[in-house]
Structure 1
Amino acid sequence: MDYDAAAIRAMYPALRDGYAYLDGAAGTQVPTAVTEAITTAYRAGIGNTGGLFPASLRSDTILTEARSAVADLVGGEPGAVVFGPNSTTLVYRFAQTLADTWRPGDRIVLSRLDHDANVRPWAQAAARAGVEVRWAEADPTTGELPADQYDALLDERTRLVAVTAASNLLGTRPDVAAITATAHAAGALTFVDGVHATPHGPVDVREMGADFYITSAYKWSGPHIGALVAAPELLDTLHPDKLLPAPDEVPERFETGTPPYADLAGLTAAVDHLAALAAPDPALSRRRRLLASMTAVESYEHELFAQLLHGLEELPYVTLYGKPAHRTATAYFRVAGRTPREVAEHLAGQGVNVWHGHNYAWELAGALGLRDSGGAVRAGLVHYNDRSDVDRLLAAVAELGAGDG
């Protein structure tokens, strides 16, 4: 199976500016196919769904195709794909809806490995409902989230376990299947944050044991749209606040307001783009092509990331955080004698895009002892990065140890 990084990079106009885009963990660039799909939708004319005229019918088709695309990407069902403006908004919506079923004396389990978007909405909903929050702890040295700790955290009053499929700070991939199995044995629902995991390898929400799975298209070369995937029969049991005239069917009952139809056309184009990355047999279903391509992406990123990690480890003034056994291509590091902001500023001056700070991993940055002192620098690889990006990062960091930078 072919993986042509140079050909893939050529599909991304933004990469022509000469910068090394190692900021993918905060959002990816988009290929030409995505911008063309969005432009085509606008040029053709779109209207709100449910009408009897062509522009409305086009929007109907766009929405249906987008639900199928997300379902193929993560192994879900199109009829249970819910769209929102972003993942954080969707988590808040479902936290409020699920909390209506909680009672005082119930409890939920959160993880300190998670992005705050899969922490604070649940914690705030629990506080309003009088529900106890229990915490699964990440190992500050390894960055691991041990699955066996959940045995002691769960009991028959546990209503929800929220956990990430990959840390957006350290890249840690916890054993989500083991965690969800423990949760289900206790009768709890599972809410899995797949925002950072989805761009970096194949996803199967069923194998993962996720009752709810959240993802963001702008993390995998699409527009700024959040998507939640669940089982249709589970969504049938939930009744969010909604406008009286708004649809009461699943999944529409969870979607407030008018969807961004043109962006949804771009979302479908992004999924099709991912499905073709490793040039699998076009006769295969899109789901099978996605599994093949994303497996190739994972392998490519790991090979490139090994070079990045080795280069950083060779620099005596660099401290790397987290050594998880299974991870995405995400590095979190500090340079001695420099604040994270100073490092990020120097790298930007050398044409390298990285992030610094806590990156919204509020609990984890606190557990690492970094949150109150500026966090650290995060550099992450995605499928369009190449060796030149890694080399430029390493050279720029090396300059910081050689002199004033």
Structure 2
Amino acid sequence: MSYDIDAVRSRVPALEAGIAHFDGPGGTQTPQPVIDAISGALARPLSNRGSASPGERHADQLVTGARQALADLLGADPSGIVFGRSATQLTYDFARTLAKTWAPGDEVVVTRLDHDANIRPWVQAAAAAGATVRWADFDPATGELAPEQVSAVLSERTRLVAVTAASNLIGTRPDLAEISRRVHTAGALLYADGVHHTAHAFVDVEALGADFYVCSPYKFLGPHLGVLAARPELLETLLPDKLAPSSNAVPVRFELGTLPYELLAGARAAVDFLAELGGPCPGTRRERLAHAFAALEEHENVLRLRLEEGLAGLGPVTLHSRAEHRTPTLLLTLDGRDTADAYRHLAERGVAAPSGSFYAQEASRRLGLGDTGGLRAGLAPYTCAEDVDRLLEGLAGFLR
């Protein structure tokens, strides 16, 4: 399977600065085609959506094109694609909307593994509705969140389960399909945080069993934006707070205010860029994405093993990313050393590998790392073997 890393890197202008980027889990660098799509959208006539003027038609084309592109990426119906400012904002919006259907005695499940953006909105919405919050734990020794750990906190009063498709802190990829089966058997809905997952795996929302799946294009080479996928018929049952004159059609009823058309153009271009990662491939965009993600996963797995083997030879390094199925995102601590100091040491040498708990506060605490967390090294489509070697050399120098 073809993966031309040099060709990928040549189209990401930020890499010309010479930095080895391991900060992709917090936001990836932007390919030139995405930049061009954003500027191109702004360079043409543009106004509110409609059909009368060129600007109206252009805006409408940008929205419908982006919905189809994200539907192709996620295996969803374009009529169920909702855009927002961020995944966090969308989750808050849907938490408030769903909470209207809850009553005292109802239960909502969140997990210790999740980013706080898939915890706090549900905790706060439950409190407002008088519902009870139940916590699903994960095993800090293995990093695993097993379906049984979710089942243990389900009941006939469970209304919603919020769970990550992949941990942004340690990379764990729970068995979401089996978790969703158990959640649905209990009569509840599943809200999946796919922000970290979407950057590293070929997503099929239907196969995962997620009723709601949220992601952020800026984690997979696109602009800052939030995207939620759900079945249109499920969205039809929900009534969000909205302006009286605004459309009540799905999915528009969930999109508050005018959409950022230029960012939608960038999101579509990011999906098209991802579809090219595996080299020439015939077929639909969805088929090309499947081929591309197979090549990307193979590329990232090779580099992850190279990094893990190198870290094993450094001595006083503890790797907290241990789940059997995980993304190429490694959280590590350095015995007796502050990872914030290591972060600064690496930054001075042109290696971006930040330190912290990265809003996964509950997971960091469960790992025994408090709110400090550790050093996070995440691979991205443009990561090369030289980048990995520079990170290892930088850490070796810091430990000396």
Give the TM-score taking structure 2 as reference length. 0.99
For the pair 1:390 / 2:388, whether they are aligned, the reply is: yes
Secondary structure of 1:371's aligned partner: coil
2:291 maps to what in 1? 292
Stretches of structure 1 lacking an aligned partner (at least 5 in a row): none
Conserved? CA contact 1:280–1:293, under 8 Å: no
The C-alpha deviation readout for 1:121-145, integer Å capped at 9, x for no partner, is 0001001111111111111111110
Q: How is 1:266-281 mapped onto 2 (pairs within 5 angstroms)?
A: 266-281=266-281
For the pair 1:111 / 2:111, whether they are aligned, the reply is: yes
2:79 maps to what in 1? 79
Q: How is 1:256-335 mapped onto 2 (pairs within 5 angstroms)?
A: 256-281=256-281, 283-335=282-334
| Alpha-carbon distance, 1:337 to partner | 2.9
1:379 maps to what in 2? 377
Q: How is 1:57-68 mapped onto 2 (pairs within 5 angstroms)?
A: 57-68=57-68
Q: Which amino acid aligns with 1:242?
A: K
Q: How is 1:29-40 mapped onto 2 (pairs within 5 angstroms)?
A: 29-40=29-40
1:359 maps to what in 2? 358
| Alpha-carbon distance, 1:317 to partner | 1.3
Secondary structure of 1:240's aligned partner: coil
| Alpha-carbon distance, 1:150 to partner | 2.4
- How many angstroms apart in 1 are the aligned matches of 2:335 and 2:153? 38
Conserved? CA contact 2:321–2:329, under 8 Å: no
Q: How is 1:2-401 mapped onto 2 (pairs within 5 angstroms)?
A: 2-50=2-50, 52-281=52-281, 283-372=282-371, 374-401=372-399
Secondary structure of 1:153's aligned partner: coil
Conserved? CA contact 1:105–1:157, under 8 Å: yes
- How many angstroms apart in 2 are the aligned matches of 1:329 and 1:401? 23
Conserved? CA contact 1:21–1:385, under 8 Å: yes
Conserved? CA contact 2:138–2:149, under 8 Å: no
- How many angstroms apart in 2 are the aligned matches of 1:154 and 1:312? 39
User: More deviation in 145-154 or 2-11?
Assistant: 145-154
Q: Which amino acid aligns with 2:6?
A: A
Percent of matched pairs sharing the same residue: 51
Q: Which amino acid aligns with 2:373?
A: G
- How many angstroms apart in 2 are the aligned matches of 1:48 and 1:338? 54
- How many angstroms apart in 2 are the aligned matches of 1:223 and 1:371? 32
| Alpha-carbon distance, 1:50 to partner | 2.5
The C-alpha deviation readout for 1:309-334, integer Å capped at 9, x for no partner, is 11112111111113100000001011
- How many angstroms apart in 1 are the aligned matches of 2:74 and 2:205? 6
The C-alpha deviation readout for 1:231-274, integer Å capped at 9, x for no partner, is 00000000000000011000000000111101111111100000
Conserved? CA contact 1:280–1:292, under 8 Å: no
- How many angstroms apart in 2 are the aligned matches of 1:107 and 1:3? 46
| Alpha-carbon distance, 1:51 to partner | 5.3
The C-alpha deviation readout for 1:186-234, integer Å capped at 9, x for no partner, is 1100000000000102110000000000010000000001100000000
Conserved? CA contact 1:357–1:371, under 8 Å: no
- How many angstroms apart in 2 are the aligned matches of 1:390 and 1:89? 34
The C-alpha deviation readout for 1:285-340, integer Å capped at 9, x for no partner, is 00010011011111110111001011112111111113100000001011233212
- How many angstroms apart in 2 are the aligned matches of 1:357 and 1:105? 36
Secondary structure of 2:121's aligned partner: helix
- How many angstroms apart in 1 are the aligned matches of 2:333 and 2:324? 21
Conserved? CA contact 1:48–1:258, under 8 Å: yes
- How many angstroms apart in 2 are the aligned matches of 1:150 and 1:196? 20
Q: Which amino acid aligns with 2:380?
A: V
- How many angstroms apart in 2 are the aligned matches of 1:257 and 1:371? 39
Secondary structure of 2:389's aligned partner: helix
| Alpha-carbon distance, 1:393 to partner | 0.3
| Alpha-carbon distance, 1:357 to partner | 0.9
Secondary structure of 1:124's aligned partner: helix
Conserved? CA contact 2:319–2:330, under 8 Å: yes
- How many angstroms apart in 2 are the aligned matches of 1:234 and 1:336? 49
Conserved? CA contact 1:80–1:232, under 8 Å: yes
- How many angstroms apart in 2 are the aligned matches of 1:378 and 1:322? 10
- How many angstroms apart in 2 are the aligned matches of 1:39 and 1:52? 23
Stretches of structure 2 lacking an aligned partner (at least 5 in a row): none
- How many angstroms apart in 2 are the aligned matches of 1:89 and 1:149? 28
- How many angstroms apart in 1 are the aligned matches of 2:88 and 2:399? 38
Secondary structure of 1:170's aligned partner: coil
Runs of 4+ in structure 1 displaced over 3 angstroms? none
- How many angstroms apart in 2 are the aligned matches of 1:46 and 1:21? 35
Conserved? CA contact 2:114–2:163, under 8 Å: yes
- How many angstroms apart in 2 are the aligned matches of 1:341 and 1:352? 13
User: More deviation in 65-74 or 150-159?
Assistant: 150-159
- How many angstroms apart in 1 are the aligned matches of 2:97 and 2:51? 30
Q: Which amino acid aligns with 1:348?
A: A
- How many angstroms apart in 2 are the aligned matches of 1:27 and 1:271? 15
Q: RMSD between aligned alpha carbons?
A: 0.9
- How many angstroms apart in 2 are the aligned matches of 1:323 and 1:396? 23
